[in-house]
Amino acid sequence: MQSWISYDDGQTWSGLALAPTGTTGKWKATLKVPGGTHTPKYASLRTVATDGNGHSVDQTVERAFGIR
């Protein structure tokens, strides 16, 4: 599985390091939100998962969550 995050509505994407949680099929990622004078207001997420038979799903959620 591969995942990315975007803080500019999908114009640029950065890879996310995923770690299994110990529960089958569940993963976690630690996010570091850019700061400074251009702190983003939203984050978009994209994930691609492929099974052992080569079937895949590609999902993008624009503005998945807001940033305070």
- Residue 10's Cβ-count burial label (10 Å; 0-12, 13-18, 19+) is middle
Work out the average pLDDT over 39-62.
95
H or E, element range at 55 = none
Confidence of residue 43 (pLDDT cuts 50, 70, 90): very high
Cα 56 to Cα 34: distance, rounded to the nearest angstrom: 31
pLDDT at 27: 87
* Res. 37 pLDDT band, cuts 50 70 90: confident
- Assess contact for 44 and 9: CB atoms under 8 A: yes
Q: What average pLDDT does the structure give for the chain?
A: 92
Q: Where are the domains of the chain?
A: 2-16+34-66
